[in-house]
Amino acid sequence: MSPLSASSTAQDHQLFSAPLPAHMETSPQVVVDLAGFVSMDAFNRAMQSLHPPGGKLPAQALINLEDTTHILVECLTALIAEVAQRQRAGLTTTFRLPLSRAVRGFMRTWGFARAFRNATGLALMTAVESDSLQRVHAYDEVNKGGSEGRYGYEKIYETLDGESRVPLDLHRFFGFQYWSQTSAEQEEEATRFDRLVVEECARWTDPVLERVLYRQLGKYGSYVSTVVHEALTNAFRHGGATSILDVSNSHYSQQRREDKNLTLVFWDNGVASYSTLRSRLDAGETIIATSFESSPELVFNIKPFAEGGLPTGATVTSRKVPTADSPDWHVVLSALFPGISADPAGAQHFSLASPGTDACLPGRGLSNLINSAVDVLGGTVAFRSGEYFMNISSASPETPLVYAVKITKSWSFFGNMITVRLPLN
């Protein structure tokens, strides 16, 4: 099974056709307009209409992309998650296609339709409104030869020494990749999951791509493969996950006329990651792995806010392990603590870190990820899981292992999504 070529299994499709839970009522069609530049904030505001208070879900939803002029790759991933949730609940979703050729070209080149079908069980074009294609054709006839903004990396980069130019069709590295965990489980090979992660990490160590990352991220560009390894290993281990996606893209700044940052997104359709920690705590079981005592102490400065009973500003260290009485936000945060794990014995543990080091021990995965992405590469990491959103950034560039954290609570997201944003140039 290879990314973008694996079709969903019969078992996957059984999930997509599951009946709507009896306690959920449905309402008439809701139209979701995603217009202009669609950021994650704009996407969440628009999708709020599909998640009204009280759990009354719209039986039919229309996702209107006609006026979309730019959509971030994390929004496309979240859109897949939204439709996958609706498919599993037996609800109907239809689409209006973007009129913008740049947006359509990006979605086509990055393999959105194939990833969408694999993760949701729904062929995108069968869900498109009947007259949407006519409007797209009419738009193209009127706007022949017009120029539109671009997506993604330039296809040619100069290396730092300035002596050669690297022609590279980068969408083969950065487009949507898909894995069906159900298919992998049917394999007899015991290390199947490990090998899938290793194969994906190997794409990010391709010699040509490494030259591009070195140019854009500097001498620590190779740490991107660590980010990919930890995020994917995390996704494959989530309970109930049958579909895993990753995708990447650069965000081009029209003002600066250059790529501004590299975004990497990872999604799985498993249970909320913090729920497995919560289950162990509620059962009186430990979440402390053997690496806890020897791990460095991390400091998390939680940004002040007062929403949903969450803290109004606090400082929490990784030594403050949550208990069964702890609020959910503390359990969510503890997933980042080195030495804290829902699998403290390491029964399903797998690491590419150097053998014999603390970094390769159970419970170090997500702390390794934020160390690489935030402390080493100067980026940010956002987690979306269940009802919680958490964003991690550096509290001070001069002080590693001290992080600024924003935790908010909203409507329940389907699965788990990690978004890593790394500054370029």
Q: For the chain, what are the domain ranges?
A: 1-143, 152-425
Paired sense of beta strands 165-167 and 156-158, if any = antiparallel
User: How far is the CA of 248 from the CAs of 62, 151, 267, 412, in angstroms?
Assistant: 26, 11, 12, 24
Beta-bridge partner residues of 417: 267, 384
Query: Can you tell me the distance from the alpha carbon of 168 to that of 173, in angstroms, rounded to the nearest whole number?
Result: 10
Tokens at 19, concatenated:
């009946």
Residue 206 sits at φ, ψ, to 5 deg, of -55, 135
Parts of the chain with a pLDDT under 70: 1-27, 145-172, 182-193, 252-259, 304-313, 345-363, 425
Query: Can you tell me the distance from the alpha carbon of 238 to that of 275, in angstroms, rounded to the nearest whole number?
Result: 10
Residue 235 host element (H or E):
helix 224-236
pLDDT in tens, 277-288: 999 999 999 999
Query: Can you tell me the distance from the alpha carbon of 372 to that of 273, in angstroms, rounded to the nearest whole number?
Result: 21
pLDDT in tens, 16-25: 333 444 434 5
Report which DSSP code applies to 419.
Answer: E
Answer yes or no: are the C-beta atoms of 227 and 419 closer than 8 Å.
no
3-state secondary structure 74-90: HHHHHHHHHHHHHHHCC
Query: Can you tell me the distance from the alpha carbon of 339 to that of 295, in angstroms, rounded to the nearest whole number?
Result: 7
How far from the centroid of its chain's Cα atoms is residue 406's Cα?
Answer: 17
Beta-bridge partner residues of 382: 391, 419
Query: Can you tell me the distance from the alpha carbon of 170 to that of 259, in angstroms, rounded to the nearest whole number?
Result: 14
Tokens at 343, concatenated:
């699998």
Tokens at 238, concatenated:
């989530």
CA angle 184/185/191 to nearest 5° reads 75
How far from the centroid of its chain's Cα atoms is residue 13's Cα?
Answer: 22
CATH of 1-143, one of 3.40.50.300, 3.40.50.2300, 3.50.50.60, 3.30.750.24: 3.30.750.24
- Give SS3 for 337: coil
Paired sense of beta strands 165-167 and 177-180, if any = unpaired
Largest interatomic CA distance in the chain: 66
Query: Minimal CA–CA distance to 106: which of 140, 76, 143, 78?
Result: 76
CA angle 293/294/297 to nearest 5° reads 80
Report which DSSP code applies to 353.
Answer: S
pLDDT at 396: 87
CA angle 48/238/171 to nearest 5° reads 70
Query: Can you tell me the distance from the alpha carbon of 400 to that of 372, in angstroms, rounded to the nearest whole number?
Result: 11
Strands (E), 162-306: 165-167, 177-180, 243-253, 258-268, 299-302
pLDDT at 332: 93
pLDDT at 246: 95
pLDDT at 290: 84
- Give SS3 for 223: helix
pLDDT at 4: 35
Residues ≥6 apart with Cβ < 8 Å to 53: none
How far from the centroid of its chain's Cα atoms is residue 310's Cα?
Answer: 24
